[in-house]
Amino acid sequence: MSAKGGSVTPVDAAATNVGAGNWKGLGMWAWLLFRVAGIVLVVYLFAHIGVISSARWSGHSTLNSAFTLFDHPLFVLLDLLLVWAVLFHALNGVRILLMDFGLGIHRHKLVFVGCMAVAVISLGFFAFKAFAYIAAHHAGGLGGLV
Amino acid sequence: MSTEVVERPPQAPPAPPDASPPTTGRMRPAAIADSAGGMWGWLLQRVTAVVLIIGLLTHLVATHIFNLGHLSFLNIGDRLGSTFFVVIDVSLLAASIFHGLNGARMIVLDYWLESRASRRALSIVLWVFGSAVFVYGMWALWPWISR
């Protein structure tokens, strides 16, 4: 890609898939999910800061009761969705960093698949912990919220 | 010297010299230049990305693997009693606010705010807002840090 204010040659455009060719294939989904996950994480970040700061507004018990609520299976499952957003965004981000350094730039689909494999395996680890926790603490049914 | 006519292979007619650039298949060069969020935003986005990968991995494993089901005010205090977790949490706070707001800014710049002045105004608003959130976050963490 040429510098700021320069022109894009047809070779540049073909190499970087600039323009009409964007909306097809794996790269489009990687880009779209990266953005969606990013927006979800920004919203969560501010909610997270808000919840943690509640201890400062109304004392320890407010925060502790929030944590009790978050131990409910429904919130554990929502946490798992959040972990997936983190893992997808992080590992696709790793791919982007690798591309910035020119690493694997001719095998970028393979790099993407490799990054996603790491994300899925990590998610499996968190999912195992989450379901084991739900099974251990809520075996008698989903009391409380639902 | 013979006067026979040499058969030339058919050639595509040359493009007219004043041909306008194609309107599909590529962005206007000006649009590409305008879509850039600036060198420092680009660089800091990557630096904070590395901080977030290391910090969030530590944060998630510490809270949701080792302390799953045990989170409480005192449990947070146990971790923030160590300098290691204070460094992790404060750098996570700063890096995540910058990374999140700069990411949101890049989405906004992809679709809106054509003028240089409005882009600059967005940056200023986001820096003021992000700084305020960082101060608020530090205020929220202070009872644990100062114990």
Residue B106: its chain A contacts at CB < 8 A? none
- Closest-CA residue of A relative to B134 is A49
CATH number at residue A133: 1.20.1300.10
- Domain enclosing residue A82, as ranges: 25-137
Model confidence pLDDT, tens digit, residues A43-99:
999 999 999 999 999 988 999 999 999 989 999 999 999 999 999 999 999 999 999
Q: Helix/strand/coil (H, E, C) string of B57-90?
A: HHHHHHHHHCCCCCCCHHHHHHHHCCHHHHHHHH
- Tell me the ipTM for this assembly: 0.81
Going along chain B from its start, the domains and CATH numbers come out as: 37-145 (1.20.1300.10)
Cβ count near A101 (within 10 Å): 9
Cα(A80)–Cα(A85) distance, rounded to whole angstroms? 9
Name which of A10-24, A65-79, B30-44, B94-108 the model is least confident about: A10-24
Q: Across A9-93, where does the E strand assignment appear?
A: none
In a domain, A72, yes or no: yes
**Interface residues on B facing A, Cβ-Cβ cutoff 8 A:** 24-27, 29-30, 32-33, 36, 46, 49-50, 52-53, 56, 60, 64-65, 68-69, 71-74, 76, 93, 96-97, 100-101, 103-104, 107, 133, 136-137, 139-143
Measured between beta carbons, the chain B residues lying within 8 angstroms of A126 are: 60, 64-65
The CA distance from A111 to the nearest CA of chain B, in Å, is 18
Number of domains in chain A: 1
